[in-house]
Amino acid sequence: MSNVAASATPSVSGFDVPRHVAIIMDGNGRWAASRGLPRSEGHRRGVEALRRAVRAAGDLGVKYLTIFSFSAENWTRPASEIRDLMGLLKRFIRNDLAELHSNGVRVRIIGEREGLSPDILGLLQEAEELTRANQNLTLVVAFNYGGRQEIARAARRLAIEVSEGRMTPDQVTADAIGGALDLPELPDPDLIIRTSGEQRLSNFLLWQSAYTEFVFLPVHWPDFDRAALESALSEFYRRERRFGGLAAQAGG
């Protein structure tokens, strides 16, 4: 993995790079099926694509990269596929963590941790602890994650605060809910990319994506590379982001 770029004004084709990019990594199974390969090979090649994505994001100057690695709904998949996915997660952390650390990448985890097996939970905690002081790129791994579940956890936290008298019901504002999310200091994503041509969020960052731009790429995730990322960034720059306001008027 190449060193993460530390340019103060990173750009692609003259445009400033978005601060936070999130990716729904979709299409591993379809990639494998189209080649007559087992789904496990699609997932393995998907890990290679993840390595390329982290390199490219760092080189281009993205400060936060969030990946949807395993959803809360993925537990309904066949047990053999879940074992393959957990094995790939373990190998990725064991094989890549030292390199991520040496390149100044900080790893953060969002998602429900209660009920995870001790070995998986230990690896996630190790990745966060080892890289805690790194500042070049923050890699946010959404694991056992669902956007609705995250909002429900935030609501429960605030309900406890109200029930114990530390806040009043009228203090439960949008800001308060945002502050009770899994990683409240994480800036909202500027851009969410989904591969494989599907055009839905699939319960990913529902609260945080209120004003996010979306780019849907026809490429399956195992084929994702720097060129695909730059293509998504180029599409992002053609958008006019108004955040609920009016478009800029030509000529004032």
Return mean pLDDT, the chain: 89
CA neighbours closer than 13 Å in the CB half-sphere of residue 32: 13
d(CA 218, CA 251): 37
Please say if 26 is a catalytic residue.
yes
DSSP class of residue 189 equals P
For the packed helices 79-102 and 39-60, what is the interaxial angle rounded to 10 degrees?
A: 20
d(CA 193, CA 127): 24
Q: What is the mean pLDDT of residues 122-147?
A: 95
CATH code for the structural domain at 15-146+188-237 = 3.40.1180.10
Residue of 28, 74, 103, 119 with catalytic role: 74
pLDDT, position 1 = 45
Residue of 3, 16, 26, 28 with catalytic role: 26
d(CA 212, CA 40): 32
Give the 3-state secondary structure of 3-26: CCCCCCCCEECCEECCCEEEEECC
The amino acid that residue 54 corresponds to is V
Residues of the chain with pLDDT > 90: what percent? 74
| pLDDT tens per residue, range 25-71 | 999 999 999 999 999 999 999 999 999 999 999 999 999 999 999 88
pLDDT, position 84 = 83
Residue 167 makes CB contacts below 8 A (sequence gap 6+) with: 158, 161, 176
Q: What is the mean pLDDT of residues 129-143?
A: 96
Domain ranges of the chain: 15-146+188-237
Say how many residues make up the chain: 252
**Does the pTM of the predicted model rise above 0.75?**
yes
Please say if 175 is a catalytic residue.
no
Residue 39 tokens read as 């789904």
d(CA 192, CA 229): 11
| pLDDT tens per residue, range 62-102 | 999 999 998 888 888 888 888 888 888 888 888 899 999 99
* Range of lowest pLDDT (9-23, 122-136, 197-211, 236-250): 236-250
* Range of lowest pLDDT (125-129, 132-136, 212-216, 244-248): 244-248
Start-to-end Cα distance in the chain:
47
